[in-house]
């Protein structure tokens, strides 16, 4: 051990190990101090200056989306009218239902479950409905326009109309499927939907 190493040793010893008194690099100290300052300003902004919380930010973004789409979930500002008969016909197409399942899995399953049993969002295969009576055209409207106050986005602004119809056809094809561990019923019971 050199004399310089000997000079850098501290008096601390633990299990025969002595530590060096090395200075921290300037870049590390600057990063650390910058992080502490940023955290303090961030805390002041959100705790005392009235910065929005996560719910307020979601509400603002959902309002901006509604303004952008004209409140209808479509960029051209008009709601797409879809007949119950058209959606029933799509339910009989294996390709449409298969495409709907893929789209549902990618976009909707995180809230409604991979078997439509309900997680954050409601169960979609039981006889209870929060919005409407569970008809395919009403499901289409909810999927297209969303339910901003519940956190459901207006998928009409993000998906093609054919994708929305295929998702609705898939949901319709799964009604009454009785998945394992369904979410408790929500809304009003509807018979013959």
User: What CATH number corresponds to the domain at position 137?
Assistant: 1.10.760.10
- Residue 190 CA to residue 84 CA, distance in Å, equals 17
* Tokens representing residue 107 in the block: 């976009």
Residue 120 lies in a domain: yes
**Residue-level pLDDT, tens digit, the chain, 193 residues:** 566 666 677 877 888 888 888 888 999 999 999 999 999 999 998 888 877 777 888 888 888 887 776 655 444 444 567 888 899 999 999 999 999 999 999 999 999 999 999 999 999 998 888 888 888 999 999 999 998 888 899 998 899 999 999 999 999 999 888 888 888 888 888 876 5
Q: What is the per-residue pLDDT for 69?
A: 63
Full-model pTM? 0.59
Residue 97 three-state SS: helix
- 141 shares a domain with 100: yes
Residue 134 placed within a domain? yes
Does 55 reside within a domain?
A: no
Q: What percent of the chain has pLDDT over 90?
A: 40
Supply the range of the domain harboring residue 17: 3-47
Helices (H), ranges, the chain: 3-8, 26-47, 54-69, 84-91, 94-107, 109-112, 136-145, 161-173
Number of domains in the chain: 2
């Amino acid at each position: 051990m050199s004399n310089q190493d000997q000079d850098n040793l501290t008096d601390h010893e633990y299990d025969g190990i002595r530590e060096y008194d090395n200075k921290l690099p300037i870049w590390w100290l600057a990063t650390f101090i910058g992080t502490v300052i940023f955290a303090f300003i961030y805390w002041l902004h959100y705790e005392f200056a009235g910065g929005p919380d996560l719910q307020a930010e979601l509400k603002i973004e959902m309002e901006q989306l509604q303004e952008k789409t004209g409140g209808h979930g479509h960029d051209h500002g008009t709601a797409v009218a879809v007949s119950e008969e058209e959606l029933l016909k799509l339910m009989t197409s294996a390709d449409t239902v298969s495409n709907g399942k893929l789209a549902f899995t990618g976009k909707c399953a995180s809230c409604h479950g991979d078997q439509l049993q309900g997680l954050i969002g409601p169960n979609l295969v039981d006889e209870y409905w929060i919005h409407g009576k569970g008809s395919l055209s009403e499901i289409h409207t909810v999927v297209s326009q969303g339910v901003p106050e519940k956190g459901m986005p207006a998928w009409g602004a993000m998906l093609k109309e054919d994708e929305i119809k295929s998702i609705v056809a898939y949901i319709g094809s799964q009604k009454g499927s009785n998945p394992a561990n369904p979410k408790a019923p929500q809304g009003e019971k509807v018979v013959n939907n």
